[in-house]
Amino acid sequence: MEILKHISENDYEFKPDVFGYHSCWITVKNLSVYINETDEGVVVDIYALNHEMDDPITSTYAFFNEAEGYEE
């Protein structure tokens, strides 16, 4: 089952209520990018390819209420 909805050429969004959560992996050359939607926002972790069980190289997050257009 696909969890992403294709919007335009390079634009996707998570489909609603797939598996009860929203996350995906994207491979970019030698990096694995993990995008995870939480109740409060989005977390992005970047790993070396084939080392996804190690600690991420870097991580970042943003809360939904920090962005314009947020509705509870």
Confidence (pTM): 0.84
Strands 22-28 and 58-63, sheet pairing: unpaired
pLDDT in tens, the chain (72 residues): 678 889 999 998 888 765 666 889 999 999 999 999 998 999 999 999 999 999 999 999 999 999 999 887
46 neighbors 33 (Cβ within 8 angstroms): yes
Alpha carbons 6 and 12: distance in angstroms, whole number = 5
- Identify the pLDDT of residue 13: 86
